Each structure stands twice: as structure tokens, then as C-alpha cells.
Structure 1
């Protein structure tokens, strides 16, 4: 996913995030690696509980360190984040890296105006005056398409619509021109029209600021619209990586195939039923042996010797492309050949 002549702005290596609970150890992320270049968007996709949000909270240093065991390496512009102090992370959060959360209403304080919350973020990291910070808040509200920003800057979150609150969250996340933006399913609760507007806004702002973006979603349709590269997660692990077109047009893992097959498409007749993935995501307290997807995989019986239930498949990455699956290339070509890659169009 990275070219040989560019150094990744963000590099994650063998990341493990385990939580201690009364029932045992939850292996929420279990050996994840990826790179992200400046000005590019990495889409991380997977069902709820796959480890997407846990990964990005680890990047931001937002896990409770008393309850969470984190191993591996996270380099942001060659600075190690896992060993950074809370004071060092506070300087980075909102400044060099920032996050847009899924639920803007829950993330914004109901007791302070939208403008004050944006201005305080800017003032904290830049030391600007109150008047300059307010002017910056108005500028950002205008930039994200809020009408009459000079007036709306003094409104409270409940006075904004859902789409406008999400725009305000984006304004707050970008007010200090961060070099890394993490968007955690920012369009899930919005209607399709507003969703499209938010996606266009993020792409326009990325062009303007050159921001590296991690976009978390369970929706491959959204991935097709915004991502440059795709990382598919299942059970706390990466099962497939590649460019958007490679993954959506030519999936190499049965889980990715299942996600695509269960997605509605305008190209398919309305009377053709969707093919949902059978079963449920694995328990991360007691995950299955071998490939964590094998209990739900329709191709597990195609692999000789019951290997899928015995051995964890290796994720072999060549030129940014790879999948963790025991099926051979010939088997994947035979079994996956009927998939229509309309999502990549």
C-alpha cells in the first residue's frame, strides 16, 4: 500500500490491544500492521467488533492504560506513540492528529456553543487570543459549508441538524490543520443525501490540506467512494489488504467476498435476494482456532486436512496486496469468479 519512494506518514506494526475483563482477556486487536501515506485515504472495513475503532483509539492514545495491554509499534511521522507520555499525546491530539466520531451529538458538549468548542481547541494548541480563535471558528464553519457562520457560531449543538453537527465536528477536527484525520463511521446516522455531502466535503478538504485519512466503516459502498486503499478486518486481525479497486473488483478472502455479496447494488435485479454471511462474528474472549473466519466460511471444506480450523493463515503482503487465507490462488479464481465487482465502478 506504499510506494518504495515514499515513507509512510503513519506506520503500525504488529499492534496488539488486549483488554482485561472479569471473564478473561479480550484480544480486540491481535497483530495488525499497515502504512498510510500523506494525502491518502485508508478505508478500514469490517463488522462491529472486528477491531476497527479499537485500533484507532490506540493510535490516539485514548485507551485506559490500567485496563489495556498494548504492544507493537505506532510511528506517526517517525515519532513513537505507544511510548509517548500523556502530555506528549495531548499536544498531538487535535493538532497533528484528530478524530471525527460517529455520534456528533454525544461528542459535542451541550453546555457550550459550537463556536466556543471549536475556538477552544484552536486556542489550546496555538495560543491564539479569544478574538482570533473565534474568527478561526467562524472561518472553519464557513469552510465546511455551514450557512451564516457568523450567526450560527453562537448556536448550541441541539440547534444544529444531524448533518450540520457532523460538519461542525469536521470543522473542530480540522481547525488546527492536522496531518492525520481519523473518521470513525462519521456518516452512519445520516441520510444518503447528507452522507454524500459529507463525503464530498472530506475529499475536498483532503485536497486542500493534504491530510492523511483513516476512514472506518462497515459499508463497502462508502469505501468505494472515498478510499485509496482498503484494509479488511475480522476478529481483530487483517484478513485482506490492497487498493480499493483490487479489493472490490477481485477479493481474495472469503470474508471480503461475503461482504460484497451481501451488499445491495443498483446493477442487480430487485427480485434477486442478498447473500448475507451466515453466523455471527467470533467471541474475542475465546476466538476459534486456526482462521477465525472458518466457522462461517463456505469454502473451509475445500481446504485439505481441515487446515482452516487448525492453523492461522499467514497474511502475505506483496506490493501492498495480500490476504490471510488457506485457499490457493487457483481455488480462489474458481470459487470467486462469479462475483460482480460493481462496487468498484
Structure 2
């Protein structure tokens, strides 16, 4: 998913993340690969339990090493994060890579001022004085659009609105100018106006710093606004990937089609009914054989020989575009034709 003239800043190769539990092995991520270049945003979309957040916590090294089996490779600017020591990861976290969490109120300490929390992150990585850290915190609050930052820097999280707390979280994540920013559903709890402001802020900051962004969400409307490339996850696997225009405008996997059919379109007729995907996401303790989506797929009976339930479809990627599905290209054109007709005309 990179352009031909740019080397990936982040490269994930055949990543597998399995957890040991009392009930058995949870295959949270099961063979995931993708690349991301600087200045680009990769949107990772999928239902709860698809492996989105686990993938990104693994990139950051925020997992219980005693209970987690990890295979594959995660290269950040050529450095393999899976073989890095905890000390190396601590040096990289907040400095070269950073994360914005979904719930700012739960992620910020209620006992310390906003300025202290932003400043401590900066001090840890630069060794600067408290005065310099406070100055940097004020600068970052101003940069993320918080009014009167020289006064608000001494406020506590409960004195900020939800949108302001999320801006403060973004300021903390960006205080050391990280080259990779992971945003884990950072706008979910916000109203649409504040959500739009946060999205614009991230795009502006990306343009300013050239940051590579991974944006995790279940909302395809958000993906349409911010992403350059899209990776669709289901049951711990990637089922489709491509540019935003390719994936949202011409889906090639029944799951992606199902996600799009379950949300309203701004282009099509308002009379088109929304069609939810039947059933529930698979158990990652005992996932379905073959294609993990086949028990919920409307087209599984179109494939001969019970392939969908017996054989895992390969994700064949050509120039950044691919889908893991047993349907032929001709079948997809025929079966997905109704989607194109109702959504785009």
C-alpha cells in the first residue's frame, strides 16, 4: 500500500498475536501484513473483536509478554519492534511513535494538570527543565486549538470538555513530534461537530509534521474523510485492502460490501433500505474454518465445492489492491452490481 517511489516507514509482515486464556488460545491477529509511508493515513476498519486495537497495541509493545505469543515482523524505520527490549520500546514510545486513545478522560490522570502531563512526556524524552516543559505544553495546547493555553495549561482534565480533552490527548501524543501516530477511535464519544474539528486538526498536523497515521475505527464515514488507504479486518485477518476510493467505491469482499450496505449513502437515494450483516462476529477462541466470514456471507453458496467453509482464501495483493475471497472476478461483478446501482446513481 505504498507508492513505488517511497519506502515504507512502518512494515508489518505476517503478524500473529495469540493470547493464552483459561478457555484456550485466542487468535486475535492471524497473519496480517501491511505497509505505511510517511505523510499517509491508513484506515483500519472492522467490527469489535476484529483485531484492530490488538494490532496497534502490539506495534507499541503494550502487551503482556508472558501471556502473548507473537510471530512475524514489525519494522519501524528498519527497526524490528518485536525483537526490541522494553527499554528500547520505552524510548520509542512517545518519541518516534505515539498513540491517541479512545477515552481521553480514562487516559488522563485526574490528579495532575493537563500541562504537567504533557510536559512530563516531553521531559522524559528530552531531559529539559520543568520551565521548558511547561512552555512546550503551552505551545502544544495552542497548536491543537485550545483557547488561552497559557491559562488552561494549569487546569485539570475534569475542567475540560470532551472535545478539549481529546485535543489535549493529541497534544500529548504529538509533543515529541512522533513520526508514527496511532489513533484508536479517537472521535467515537464526540458529537459530529467536534468530531469534524478533531479530524481537521489531525489532517493539519499531519501536513505540518509529515506524520504517518494509523486510524482505527468501525465508522466508514470517518474513513472516507481521513484515510488514504484502507485495510478491512475480520476475525483477526485482513479481508480487503486498497485505496480509499477503491475500497469504498468498488468493494471486492462481501464483508466490506456488508459494512457499506449497513450505512447510509450521501450519493444514493434516501429510499434505499439499510441491510445489516446477519449474525455475530466469530469467536477467536474457536473461529470458523475456511473463510471466517462464510457463516454470515450472503454469497457463500455461490462458490462450488464448499470452498468457503473448508479453505482459507488467500489475500493476493497487486499494486496495493487485494481481497481474500473465493468468488471469481466475474461473480463479484454480477453479485455486487446492485450495490453500485443503488449507491452511486
The Cα shift of 1:341 comes to 8.8
1:225-264 deviation digits (Å, cap 9, x = unpaired): 0000000000000000100000011100000000000012
CA contact (8 A) 2:269 2:342 kept: no
1:297 aligns to what?
Answer: 297
State the Cα RMSD in Å.
1.4
The Cα shift of 1:271 comes to 4.5
What is the alpha-carbon distance in structure 2 between the residues aligned to residue 15 and residue 300 of structure 1?
27
Does 2:265 align with 1:253? no
CA contact (8 A) 1:294 1:309 kept: yes
What is the alpha-carbon distance in structure 1 between the residues aligned to residue 327 and residue 268 of structure 2?
28
TM-score (norm 1): 0.98
The Cα shift of 1:24 comes to 0.2
1:107 aligns to what?
Answer: 107
Structure 2: runs of 5+ lacking an equivalent? none
Secondary structure of residue in 1 paired with 2:70: strand
Does 2:317 align with 1:317? yes
What is the alpha-carbon distance in structure 1 between the residues aligned to residue 182 and residue 3 of structure 2?
22
2:207 aligns to what?
Answer: 207
The Cα shift of 1:67 comes to 0.8
What is the alpha-carbon distance in structure 2 between the residues aligned to residue 71 and residue 266 of structure 1?
41
1:159 aligns to what?
Answer: 159
Secondary structure of residue in 2 paired with 1:276: coil
Secondary structure of residue in 1 paired with 2:13: strand
1:194-243 deviation digits (Å, cap 9, x = unpaired): 00000000000000000000000000110000000000000000000100
Query: Where in structure 2 are the equivalents of 1:97-246 lying within 5 Å?
Result: 97-246=97-246
CA contact (8 A) 2:12 2:32 kept: yes
Secondary structure of residue in 2 paired with 1:338: helix
What is the alpha-carbon distance in structure 2 between the residues aligned to residue 168 and residue 64 of structure 1?
28
What is the alpha-carbon distance in structure 1 between the residues aligned to residue 103 and residue 183 of structure 2?
11
1:88 aligns to what?
Answer: 88
What is the alpha-carbon distance in structure 2 between the residues aligned to residue 176 and residue 249 of structure 1?
37
The Cα shift of 1:270 comes to 4.4
1:27 aligns to what?
Answer: 27
Secondary structure of residue in 2 paired with 1:240: strand
CA contact (8 A) 2:272 2:342 kept: no
Does 2:306 align with 1:306? yes
2:67 aligns to what?
Answer: 67
What is the alpha-carbon distance in structure 2 between the residues aligned to residue 254 and residue 141 of structure 1?
43
1:60-107 deviation digits (Å, cap 9, x = unpaired): 000000111111000000001001000000000000000000000000
1:52 aligns to what?
Answer: 52
Change in CA separation of 1:342 and 1:74 when aligned onto 2, cut-off 3 Å: farther
What is the alpha-carbon distance in structure 1 between the residues aligned to residue 229 and residue 271 of structure 2?
32
Report the number of matched residues. 345
Does 2:10 align with 1:10? yes
What is the alpha-carbon distance in structure 2 between the residues aligned to residue 235 and residue 47 of structure 1?
9
Change in CA separation of 1:62 and 1:344 when aligned onto 2, cut-off 3 Å: farther
Structure 1: runs of 5+ lacking an equivalent? none
The Cα shift of 1:273 comes to 2.5
Secondary structure of residue in 1 paired with 2:338: coil
TM-score (norm 2): 0.98
The Cα shift of 1:6 comes to 1.5
Which moved further from structure 2: 319-328 or 330-339?
Answer: 330-339
CA contact (8 A) 1:244 1:344 kept: no
Which moved further from structure 2: 121-130 or 270-279?
Answer: 270-279
